[in-house]
Amino acid sequence: MRAPAAALANWNGMKYLGRCLAGLYAQTCPLSEVVVVDNGSTDGSVAWLRAHFPQVRLIENPVNLGFAVGYNQAIAACRAPFVLVLNTDVFLEPDFVALALQGFDRGTRVAAVTGRVFQQGTDELINGGFCLRRQLRIRPSPNLEEPEEVFGATGAVALFRREALEDLKVEGEYFDESYFGYGEDIDLAWRAQLWGWQVRFEPGPLAHHVGSGSLDGRLRFAEKPAFFQRHVLKNRYLTLIKNVSPRVLLSLLPAFLLAELLLWPYLFLRWPRRAPYLALALADAWRLLPLARRRRRLIQARRQVPSARIRAFLRGW
């Protein structure tokens, strides 16, 4: 088996890059290459990388083009049969890649494998695989002991089969670049399920995740800058438009509508000055509706599984 590669996107993450990259180069299963896309960092990341890790393949963007664009560029630059998609604020145990690779022995339709993740921001050990809440948020599986199939894998740390990534591209994109950031891992996971791929959790691989490292650890929605909150809100609508079937929509709709009815009054009460800006997420979704509908047609045309398959991964509201 050829060695895997690692794909990272960096935006002002210099304070974590050293530990992250040291963990990659310390893997017991050596990596064929490490590709880092820098998204217009202003913290000296590029110069630091060149000085301390000249072996990294560095791709520079003049400005922050977003998580999706950065990772799409990094993945496309890798040529290995397996690609580790990794946030720069994630630190791997030395055997993470070797143990994650074993998850692909469970079937040729395994698209991705993740493991246990210690979340520094919440001080808890979680399953890096998730199920889907009915308001279109992720819910980590409570299982930490047994291998299992999950709906999707966290975008922070997941090892992907290259064949699956290429198959899952829509109009040349692995992650939907209209998302910019946040929720693109749910979108990719949903598409993988619809197209007959599987995502696995393995309890052996272990990672440490700072969480929102580029935003100084502002992990929760309420802590994030308004620019990113707006993308979070907009991307929920795009994910629903592109992926949901009528039967799954019936299962989601009561909780989703209730969440909407509670969300917007809360936003206007908590941030009366910011809320009009956040409401532009609705305009963003409307502007992107033709693109989302076109991609919906492409996605649904290749659907291979019944709605019951998706509904099986719904957990809570």
pLDDT for 224 equals: 77
Instruction: Give the whole-angstrom CA distance, residue 268 versus residue 276.
Output: 8
Contacts of 64 (CB under 8 A, 6+ apart): 11, 39, 40
105 and 188 part of one domain = yes
Cα–Cα separations (whole angstroms), residue 186 to 28, 34, 131, 236:
30, 25, 9, 9
Residue 42 sits in a domain whose CATH number is 3.90.550.10
- Phi and psi dihedrals of 153, rounded to 5? -120, 140
Q: Residue 146: inside a domain, yes or no?
A: yes
The domain boundary, picked from 182, 215, 248, lies at: 215
Q: What is the pLDDT along the chain (317 residues), one digit of tens a residue?
A: 579 999 999 999 999 999 999 999 999 999 999 999 999 999 999 999 999 999 999 999 999 999 999 999 999 999 999 999 999 999 999 999 999 999 999 999 999 999 999 998 888 999 999 999 998 889 999 999 999 999 999 999 999 999 999 999 999 999 999 999 889 999 999 999 999 999 999 999 999 999 754 555 566 777 778 888 899 999 999 999 999 999 999 999 999 999 999 999 999 999 999 999 999 999 999 999 999 999 999 999 999 999 999 999 999 88
**Residue 223: is it exposed, middle or buried by C-beta count within 10 angstroms (0-12/13-18/19+)?**
middle
pLDDT for 107 equals: 93
Instruction: Give the whole-angstrom CA distance, residue 304 versus residue 45.
Output: 43
203 and 235 part of one domain = no
The DSSP bridge partners found for residue 150 are 199
Please state the domain count of the chain: 2
pLDDT for 219 equals: 60
- Give the position of tokens 């047609």: 297
Task: Judge whether 202 and 147 are in contact, CB under 8 Å.
Answer: yes
200 and 243 part of one domain = no
199 and 273 part of one domain = no
pLDDT for 39 equals: 95
65 and 31 part of one domain = yes
Cα–Cα separations (whole angstroms), residue 309 to 181, 195, 252, 305:
27, 11, 14, 6
pLDDT for 213 equals: 46
- Give the position of tokens 């980590």: 140
Regarding pTM above 0.85, the answer is: yes
188 and 55 part of one domain = yes
**Residue 105: is it exposed, middle or buried by C-beta count within 10 angstroms (0-12/13-18/19+)?**
exposed
Strands 5-10 and 33-39: parallel
User: In terms of residue numbers, what domain contains 289?
Assistant: 221-311
96 and 232 part of one domain = no
Q: Residue 316: inside a domain, yes or no?
A: no
Q: Residue 317: inside a domain, yes or no?
A: no
Instruction: Give the whole-angstrom CA distance, residue 258 versus residue 4.
Output: 43
Please give, one letter per residue, the 3-state secondary structure of 236-302.
Answer: HHHHHHHHCCHHHHHHHHHHHHHHHHHHHHHHHHHCCCCHHHHCHHHHHHHHCHHHHHHHHHHHHHC
131 and 189 part of one domain = yes
47 and 132 part of one domain = yes
119 and 171 part of one domain = yes
